[in-house]
Structure 1
């Protein structure tokens, strides 16, 4: 292959599959035109573009998630629908596992969030609950009654104590 500066790895891989006799027949101008044709696909950006290599010992695994406005022609959509069907064994196993994990997480998280929200709502909308509490620093009946508390069982009790205190 002729020396071209800044060769795209995808282009290089595809170009290497062409027999050397044919590849050497291309002029530099033809190769640059083919590169530009490939390059128009490489520069396309997506609204969501996540590409992750998943480190699973013993496996070479990657995950790609792309989303954006649809720019493919109807002909290409039909071709790719036949070439990459949504419902195949691998996709069904992945989607089943993903939905199972999502459901189990939801069943764990939503009740917790719901109880947290309802307890916050009940605290903010209802008068604060009270519970009698003994006051450890008051030791005599007259001082206890002077502070509008109740003397019972040799202790001073505050009936207005809030557990939120």
Structure 2
């Protein structure tokens, strides 16, 4: 009986030793993650990610700024008088702030973007 009891104690001790050695192995691998090679790799990856993101976003924002400024300049500089065929009456034309000329209602601020 004493022999069986010793095996049980030895078995429990052996299990405990296995668990502690596994914990130590996990702890050791966690500590070795920040090696100089890994640190360099992670730093360079983050730097490349930052640079590419800045390039993409600056390209997107500049295209929005260019398109909005060009459409604004175009809208300001390129107004053309246009006849409005759906307005057939002189009083209706004057009421809407347009010009009546040659039997037609003219809009002096018609934008080609309309």
Q: Give the TM-score band, short-chain normalised.
A: 0.3 to 0.5
Alignment TM-score, normalising by the size of structure 2: 0.40
Higher helix residue share: 2
Alignment TM-score, normalising by the size of structure 1: 0.32
Higher relative contact order (CA 8 A, sep 6+): 2
Higher strand residue share: 1
Structure of larger gyration radius: 2
